[in-house]
A and B are shown apart, each in its own frame.
Chain A
Amino acid sequence: MKKLRENPLLLSAVIAIVALVASFWLLANPRSTLPFLLTLGALLAALLQPIPKWLKILIGGAILLLVIPAAGFKNSFLFELGIQTGIYAAMALGLNVVVGLAGLLDLGYAAFFAVGAYTWAIFGSPQANEFMPWKIFPLPGEYFYLFMLIAVVVAAITGVVIGSPALRLKGDYLAIVTLGLGEVVRVLANNLDQPINITNGPQGITPIQRPPIDWFIALLEKFGLQLSRAEAYPLFFYLLVLVIIGIVTLVNIRLDRSRFGRAWIAIREDETAARAMGIPLFPTKLLAFATGASFSGAMGALFAAKQLYVSPESFTLIQSIMILVMVILGGMGSIPGAILGAATVTILNVDLLKSASDYLNNLRNAGFTLDLGFFKYNFANLPNQLEPAKYERMVFGLIMILMMIYRPEGIIPERRHVLEMKKEEA
């Protein structure tokens, strides 16, 4: 392993070959999980290992733009997985600004996601007719892009509104207050169908307009791809998400290295010292909060358009915790870490746990008998409460506990963080 690291040529060759093999395997078996994971592993290795930049771009571009879409046409679940991963990765990057850089534990992050989702859902569906005097809703799909920007602004404003009282508090109290305010947003979404029907309460809002893609289908036809609308939408959203992830990552990197980024890190490390250096504490924290919120708001609008349906169910505490787990798993403050964490948790949650459930269900329905000689078990007796997909809380909880005990700096630690987390208390 060490030898491999010291020889960049060999390393590049190994990664390229693995990527190639994995890609062909995935294209041959688009429905099985293992080649998909291997392909992602190759992608990750290409991006993180010290290999030439052109090779990184080549492997990354080939896998993201060719292999996964090509496999996705045979198994549309891959698109779903990719879109969800992208949405969560963008949110994890947003939360990374709040938790990772500024060190403010926000347990109500899904609230901003909800605000963004409802911003487009209400005006992109007939819902707005309920309380608006002019009956022009739903707005046509072209407005989606405008509303993504509006969602960013609205979410940032919500961030300021929630942050203004909450950010005057420290550490533990901040966590519990943001948790409470996050619940407040969900309760409001659940109850604002009376006296004026704004959110349509627990039934949720549907159908929501999607951005029009006729130009996209026409564009694909020029490349010789004939796609129906239903086939083109997943590809369109997948590519849109990729673009957004690119923008968000770029913004994140720039922020990290900006004056604000350094100010946030200074506050995280030592508030008193940061203040002594002339950093205004409250406005800087508020800026971090609003920045994080705006990322989440944009993804909320996208989520509403993709899903065609929003309801308060989608914005519970478990969502906030899931995004937090992504940030923790990858490493607080680390940008590649946040993306890796988002990918891991999404795949775990959407794919692996569900596959495990299906697997157990199949065994149960088939009445399969495990016979090890000394141990005999008929799977027909398996209690049907045993469904891994329903135990996401246990999985998330376990990840949080184990990471905090054994590797608090995360899988891909940020350099500055390693020193701090491991330091003995004086």
Chain B
Amino acid sequence: MLEILIQLLPSVLLEGLILGFVYAMIALGYTMVYGVLELINFAHSEIFMAGAVAGAETFILLKGAIANPFLLLALALLIGGTVAAVVAILVERLAYRPLRKRGTTNRLVPLITAIGVSFFLQDLVRLIEGLWHNAFYRRYPSFAVFEATYNLPNWIGVLVIALTVWVGFWVLAYFGDWLLRRFAKRAPAKGRTLSWVAAGLTLVFLVLYRHVVFTDLGMTIQMKSILVIVVSLAMLYGLNWLVHKTKLGIAIRAVAQDAQTASLMGIDPDVIVSRTFLIGGFLGGVAGVLFGLLYTLVHPYVGFIPGIKAFTAAVLGGIGNITGAAVGGLVLGMLEMLGGTYLTFLTNGAMGTEYKDILAFMILIFILLFRPQGIIGQQLGEKV
């Protein structure tokens, strides 16, 4: 039993990592809007969905005209991102801005509006798709190039197992130390000591289970997964550059910190808010196209679950913080894959894959209750 679990570990974590990149990109949209307006933009999941659907349409329409799948993907990403950005800007202009202009002391008003926008957009896309094709489920076409599978060298798998086991032991050691501190009144151990203890235990583990770890772990990766990782890394890096190195980024951070003072410095907060929605929407749309590429089927209601998960990721990492959103997304993706696979496996299928959604909500509640500032926390990164 344990052998199989160990051998599955690298593949499951890799899957989780890929999913995590998608979550991270959606989470950025939540986090940026929250940073500037302190509003949970419930409609972001539908902005993501609009991108996914627009990407599917691009693929289907241009499949005959453009033979090169990579060029096609680039176009789909561009169009999906643009459509999503336009939707995001329109939502801000038509629904959120009137509320800001009127000014209200009730915190529920913007939130309820956001939920309304989210539901409205779901059926709006359904209506458009329904009138256009008489069906609202769209499928991404598959390309042999994207589906191609590559074997990964075994040492990567071994490294992943070693690292995971090390992290596991580190957490256990930390917990043990906490118990000692709490009940035996011992002085806290140094972080370095904990790390070395965990490393030692990991070494013992690797020796004990060498027949499992050092076999053919059969890790493979598909071309489309590589594309997801490459595109998301590029996007994350680009966003980081934009926020920290450009004038627009400085303006966004200024408005996030204090909109009134920023406007005294010659920054129009409305323009900046609009730009923030544009950037967040574009990232959401790109994430939508990547999501469609990974899971093929898209429809107007596809955004809901990834949206909630991405929001969880944003909170997990520390909402309002760009690095936090990325870290939260990756961690959540991996935890979810681990939970989903191992729960089903350990209970002989009695607890189905739907329970992994529960896992995400549990993580959200746990984080909000015990570490509301998230993994990264606000003390490290600044608000965006």
A interface residues (Cβ-Cβ under 8 A, vs B): 99, 103, 105, 107, 165-166, 168-169, 171-173, 175-177, 179-181, 183-184, 187-188, 190-191, 194-195, 317, 321, 324, 328, 332, 383-386, 390-394, 396-401, 404-405, 408, 420-421, 423-425
Contact = CB atoms under 8 A, between A and B. Distances in A.
A166 B95 CA distance: 28
B277 interface: no
Nearest to B116: A400
A383 B134 contact: yes
B352 A420 contact: no
Contact of B111 (A172, A332, A420, A423): A172
Contacts of B95: 401, 405
Given A321-B115, A399-B116, A408 B134 contact: no
Given A103-B108, A176-B308, A408-B104, A385 B364 contact: no
Given A105-B111, A194-B349, A405-B98, 5 more contacts: A177-B368, A385-B127, A392-B123, A397-B121, A400-B115
Nearest to A187: B354
Interface stretch (B151-159, B225-233, B355-363): B355-363
A180 B116 contact: no
B352 A391 contact: no
Interface size class of B (residues with CB under 8 A): 35 or more
A169 B368 contact: yes
B188 interface: no
Residue in A171, A173, A392 whose Cβ sees the most chain B Cβ within 10 Å = A173
Contact of B130 (A169, A383, A397): A383
A404 B131 contact: no
A109 to B, nearest CB: 13
Contacts of A393: 119-120, 122-123
A166 B364 CA distance: 11
A401 B104 CA distance: 15
B271 interface: no
Contacts of A398: 116, 120
Contact of B127 (A172, A176, A391, A424): A391
Contacts of A423: 104-105
A149 to B, nearest CB: 30
A401 B134 contact: no
Contacts of B126: 385, 390-391
A425 B103 contact: yes
B136 A396 contact: no
Interface string B355-381: 101101100110011000000000000
A180 B365 contact: yes
Contact of B350 (A103, A105, A183, A195): A195
Contacts of A390: 126
Q: Mostly helix, strand, loop or mixed at chain A's interface? A: helix
Nearest to B125: A394
B40 interface: yes
Given A191-B352, A397-B123, A398-B120, A404 B113 contact: yes
Nearest to B131: A383
A385 B112 contact: no
Interface in B118-176: 118-124, 126-127, 130-131, 134-136
Contacts of B5: none
Contacts of A394: 119-120, 122-124, 127
A356 to B, nearest CB: 14
A401 B308 contact: no
A333 to B, nearest CB: 11
A188 B124 CA distance: 31
A99 B107 CA distance: 12
A195 to B, nearest CB: 4
B358 A404 contact: no
Contacts of A401: 95, 113, 116-117, 120
B306 to A, nearest CB: 14
A423 B102 CA distance: 9
Contact of A180 (B110, B350, B361): B361
B99 interface: yes
B106 interface: yes
B6 interface: no
A176 B131 CA distance: 33
Residue in A176, A384, A396 whose Cβ sees the most chain B Cβ within 10 Å = A176
Nearest to B311: A176
Contacts of A195: 347, 350
Contacts of B197: none
A194 B103 CA distance: 51
Contacts of A421: 104, 106, 109
Contacts of A166: 365
Contacts of B250: none
B96 to A, nearest CB: 10
Contacts of B234: none
B350 A194 contact: yes
A425 B105 contact: yes
Contacts of B122: 393-394, 397
